[in-house]
Amino acid sequence: MSTRFVIAGMQRSGTTVTQRIVQGHPEVAMAWAEIAIEPFFGAGYSAWTFGNEAYAEREAAMPRMFDAIAGMHADERTKARGFKVAVNNAREATQLAHALDEYLPDVRLVLTRREDVVAQFGSIVRARETGEWHSWSERGEAGPRVELDPEELDAYDRECREIDAILRTVGDATRLFEVCYERDILGGTDPGALFDFLGVARVDVSWRTTQKTAPDPADYIEDYSALRRRVARSQPHDEASVRDGLRRARIEAADLEHDYVLVRRAERFAVRGDSGTACDLAGLALQRPDAPVRVWLPAMAVLAASGSADAVPEIAPKAARGFAASLDRAGGDTTNAYLEVLADQDVPVAFGFANSSLERGEWSLAEAVVTAVLDRDPPPHRDECEWASQLLEGAWNGLGDVAHAVEASRRVVSKFRQDPALLEVHAAALAADGTRREALAIAERALAIDPGRVRANAMRTDYAE
């Protein structure tokens, strides 16, 4: 899958010129139009429903909506797809950050900002007065001078700092790339690092034949130097308090949601390393005494993974409190405790827990859960085996031990000799181990049962002599 990305920033911060630089890359597909934060990142899927859709459907819809818009100009060369948004206020920044956290955790953010807030604010005032929002020719005449209200400038400066602080909560350097207008746009910084961030090749920006230009701010902003000194004296925004405020807002909003939403959010924050928020959300889920196993067990797993299994509230379901005690008795080896709880649960509950374990990077636990389900009598049906094959392959890929994957998949297919999905994943393990002849034989067995298996057909084509 190609890299997903969003270019975001306040008006006049460099979003348009950054879009021009990125959009011209032959391996990038971008929507030409600017996308409005509301409704896309606000209401989202609910903008086209009556607002009572299942959370799982809402969660699944956002990435597909993103791809439909960002990928409309994609072709076989595309390695990155995205679009540009302009952030007008802190509320919109919060909506964007929340949507990226909640529904689009793999989307990368290119944040554009300016160091010269006086020039940025003056550019907006000048554009409103002249009607000229973009200039792509030679540096223009200064035109009429504009006078900026110091108090309005102070408010704008505070909002800029707050918006940047909110958007920086999206992630670390693997997910967030900052473009500084003065350093990177006016200074002509090579965009190679930006292309690296987007996962595309470094190339010369030959398509950038024009420069976005404007008069020097000192030529049209009254008291420009004095206003620069005024802004320089302003206090930096407390980014820690912004993060804490967003965290509290998310927890308060989640408390109104269904149990399943709480658990999914807890798992998402655990995967991203925010164990504090993850544990808070898991604790909220456990405060509902009627929560079913599919809710309280993954909530307990989140607490256990962060070393907080003893933080189970007194009003948690009795079974969850008992499970916490069993985890404490089990010490470091907790797999059997999970398997014991899941032994009499439906396959979707067990496999849902296995999938959550994969997201947390607990590969061995996920493998153990799926293997235990496959060992049940009666065994799972064909559709459930398809799901099992995907989960097992994810666990084996995570473990990174090809020999283990070969032997484990061999044990599985010794029982499920007629299941094409499990045969196919065994063939894939053999192929990864370099045993192509045996892989082809297993792939042929899968195709004899289901001729439409894509990977098995690919092996037949690649490995047949």
Q: What is the pLDDT of residues 374-421, one digit of tens each?
A: 999 888 888 889 999 999 999 999 999 999 999 999 999 999 999 999
Number of domains making up the chain: 2
Please state at what angle helix 259-271 crosses helix 293-305, rounded to 10 degrees.
Answer: 20
Asked if 216 contacts 222 with a C-beta cutoff of 8 angstroms, the reply is no
pLDDT of residue 215: 75
Q: Which helix (H) or strand (E) holds 177?
A: strand 176-180
pLDDT of residue 236: 67
Does 59 share its domain with 170?
A: yes
* 142 domain-assigned: yes
Q: What are the residues whose beta carbons fall under 8 Å from the beta carbon of 229, sequence distance 6 or more?
A: none
pLDDT of residue 208: 65
Q: How far apart are CA 168 and CA 2, in angstroms?
A: 23
Tokens of 108: 């990368």
Cα 2 → chain centroid: 13
Nearest to 417 by CA among 385, 390, 395, 391: 385
Distances (CA, A) of 409 to 125, 292, 415: 66, 32, 10
* 246 domain-assigned: no
* 247 domain-assigned: no
Residue 57's pLDDT band, with cuts at 50, 70 and 90, is confident
Place of tokens 């992630």: 171
Does 277 share its domain with 189?
A: no
Q: How far apart are CA 255 and CA 73, in angstroms?
A: 40
Q: What number of H helices and E strands is found in the chain?
A: 22, 5
Nearest 10 degrees: CA dihedral of 195, 196, 197, 200? Answer: 60
- Among 207, 241, 275, the domain boundary falls at 241
pLDDT of residue 127: 80
Q: What are the residues whose beta carbons fall under 8 Å from the beta carbon of 58, sequence distance 6 or more?
A: 44, 45, 46, 103
Does 152 share its domain with 233?
A: yes
The residue type found at 343 is: A
Asked if 301 contacts 360 with a C-beta cutoff of 8 angstroms, the reply is yes
* 338 domain-assigned: yes
Residue 107 sits at the vertex; the CA angle it makes with 101 and 109, to the nearest 5 degrees, is 90
What CATH code is carried by the domain that includes residue 203? 3.40.50.300
pLDDT of residue 102: 80
Across the range 127-132, mean pLDDT stands at: 74
Least confident of 51-60, 67-76, 102-111: 51-60
Does 189 share its domain with 294?
A: no
Does 116 share its domain with 32?
A: yes
Q: Is the pLDDT of residue 210 over 60?
A: no
Residue 256's pLDDT band, with cuts at 50, 70 and 90, is very low
Tokens of 408: 């484990």
Q: Is the pLDDT of residue 175 over 80?
A: yes
Query: Half-sphere exposure of 233 toward its Cβ, with a 13 Å CA cutoff?
Result: 8
Q: How far apart are CA 84 and CA 14, in angstroms?
A: 11
Please state at what angle helix 454-463 crosses helix 420-432, rounded to 10 degrees.
Answer: 40
Instruction: Give percent of the chain with pLDDT exceeding 90.
Output: 38
pLDDT of residue 339: 87
Does 234 share its domain with 276?
A: no
Residue 303's pLDDT band, with cuts at 50, 70 and 90, is confident
What CATH code is carried by the domain that includes residue 426? 1.25.40.10
Across the range 28-35, mean pLDDT stands at: 94
Does 207 share its domain with 263?
A: no
**Which stretches does DSSP call E strand in 12-132?**
28-30, 80-87, 108-113
Residue 462's pLDDT band, with cuts at 50, 70 and 90, is confident
Q: Is the pLDDT of residue 277 over 90?
A: no
Burial of 112 (0-12, 13-18, 19+ CB in 10 A): buried
Top pLDDT among 151 and 240 is at 151
Does 89 share its domain with 227?
A: yes
Across the range 240-267, mean pLDDT stands at: 63
In tens, the pLDDT along 177-201 reads 999 999 998 888 899 999 999 999 9
Does 301 share its domain with 367?
A: yes
Q: Which helix (H) or strand (E) holds 337?
A: helix 335-342
Asked if 47 contacts 220 with a C-beta cutoff of 8 angstroms, the reply is no
Query: Half-sphere exposure of 276 toward its Cβ, with a 13 Å CA cutoff?
Result: 6
Residue 334 belongs to what domain range?
252-463
Q: How far apart are CA 427 and CA 439, in angstroms?
A: 4
Q: Which of the listed ranges 146-155, 259-268, 339-348, 364-373 does the model predict with the highest average pLDDT?
A: 364-373
In tens, the pLDDT along 354-365 reads 988 888 888 999
Long-range contacts from 381-384, C-beta under 8 angstroms, 24+ separation: 382/419, 382/421, 384/347, 384/351
Residue 429 sits at the vertex; the CA angle it makes with 423 and 430, to the nearest 5 degrees, is 90
Instruction: Give percent of the chain with pLDDT exceeding 70.
Output: 84
- Among 209, 241, 273, the domain boundary falls at 241
Does 125 share its domain with 224?
A: yes
Q: How far apart are CA 353 and CA 220, in angstroms?
A: 62
* 73 domain-assigned: yes
Q: Is the pLDDT of residue 245 over 90?
A: no
- What value does the mean pLDDT of the chain take? 84
Top pLDDT among 70 and 316 is at 70
Q: What are the residues whose beta carbons fall under 8 Å from the beta carbon of 280, sequence distance 6 or more?
A: 247, 251
Residue 255's pLDDT band, with cuts at 50, 70 and 90, is very low
Q: How far apart are CA 198 and CA 27, in angstroms?
A: 10
* 391 domain-assigned: yes
* 257 domain-assigned: yes
Tokens of 403: 């020999």
Q: Is the pLDDT of residue 312 over 90?
A: no
* 416 domain-assigned: yes
Across the range 371-376, mean pLDDT stands at: 93
Does 151 share its domain with 202?
A: yes
- Among 194, 218, 241, the domain boundary falls at 241
Q: How far apart are CA 435 and CA 125, in angstroms?
A: 68
Does 211 share its domain with 318?
A: no
